[in-house]
Amino acid sequence: MTGGHALDAHADADAVLAEYLTHLATERGLAANTLASYRRDLRRYLEYLEERGRRSLAEVSEDDVAAFLDALRAGDERHRALCDGSAARAASAVRGLHRFAVREGLASHDPAGRVRPPRRPRRTPRAIGAGEVERLLAALGPEDAPLTLRNRALLEVLYGTGARISEVVGLAVDDVELGDDGAGDGGERRTTGVERVRLRGAGGRTRAVPLGRSARDALRAYLTRARPAIAAHGRGRGTHALFLNARGGRLTRQGAWGVLQAAAERAGLGGISPHMLRHSFAARLIDGGADVRVVRELLGLASVSTAQVYTLVSVD
């Protein structure tokens, strides 16, 4: 017991909520926005319990909790139905409230401990095809302009590696290995050595993803013909960031989003997001016969089951 309360199986639910919110703010250090969401979710919960005649948490049953979680998804005349993420957050808040009440001696049992929220339906990711990607790239602007070369490299890397947008804007120049140019036996140009990019994902985990020809060529054009010029215009000479903004600093996540959205608007493509390019990369691999374990590794996913959803997607 952290609060030293005597056991009170009939503690007023509003009083328990007030203590729980204070605990979250002072001992757990929840952010103001998160705390406000918890307060809103739990006020709705207590109103629901009151309508069912429950004045204290000691009177709440598992059926009460389960019915409330179902009501979150269904909505009513006063509340809109919650999306999957919001319903899961509210369920977490309810379980936390009951755990706190038992731990502090403010309730005698936890009716939410064995109740789970409705299982989230697995959504099929939306992918786009190569033709739509070509329309995006064609809408970037004058081909030789430094920012166009940067933008092409940015989109080619997003689509060609399946990287998250945060991983791409976090890249340093040294994270890219393009191999060495050389001459073939017949005098043609060829590229030798490793061609890959090192991406830093969740938890600081690093993975190496091979670069296809289009991404490699776009990166080489950007690094040799555009990045030095962009860096010279601003503060980019001292930064190791791969993708620079127009002032020479590191391109932000919001800036990269803006590049994609502007190109999509000019190309007449609605609803395109960086994550959709990631889905398209994965779907293209599956279409080509790649094993889901390979897809998991290249995308930096935690489990094979997460990657299996891409077997339902086709970009054909």
Q: What is the pLDDT, as a whole number, of residue 100?
A: 93
Phi, psi (5° rounding) for residue 198? -95, 120
Q: What is the pLDDT, as a whole number, of residue 191?
A: 46
Strand partners, 196: 177, 210
Domains annotated for the chain, with CATH where assigned, are: 13-103 (1.10.150.130), 130-312 (1.10.443.10)
pLDDT in tens, 275-293: 889 989 988 888 888 888 8
Q: What is the pLDDT, as a whole number, of residue 11?
A: 60
> Does the CA dihedral 242-217-268-287 come out positive or negative?
negative
Q: What is the pLDDT, as a whole number, of residue 43?
A: 93
CA distance 208 to 40: 43
Q: Which two tokens stand for residue 284?
A: 């293209």
Q: What is the C-alpha end-to-end distance of the chain, expressed in Å?
A: 59
Which ranges of the chain have pLDDT less than 70?
1-11, 117-125, 180-194, 203, 234-237, 310-316
Q: What is the pLDDT, as a whole number, of residue 316?
A: 46
Q: What is the pLDDT, as a whole number, of residue 234?
A: 65
CA distance 284 to 39: 44
Are the CB atoms for 57 and 106 separated by under 8 Å?
yes
Q: Which two tokens stand for residue 313?
A: 């997607």
Q: pTM to 2 decimals? A: 0.60
Q: Exposed, middle or buried by CB within 10 Å (0-12, 13-18, 19+), for 306? A: middle
Q: What is the pLDDT, as a whole number, of residue 20?
A: 92
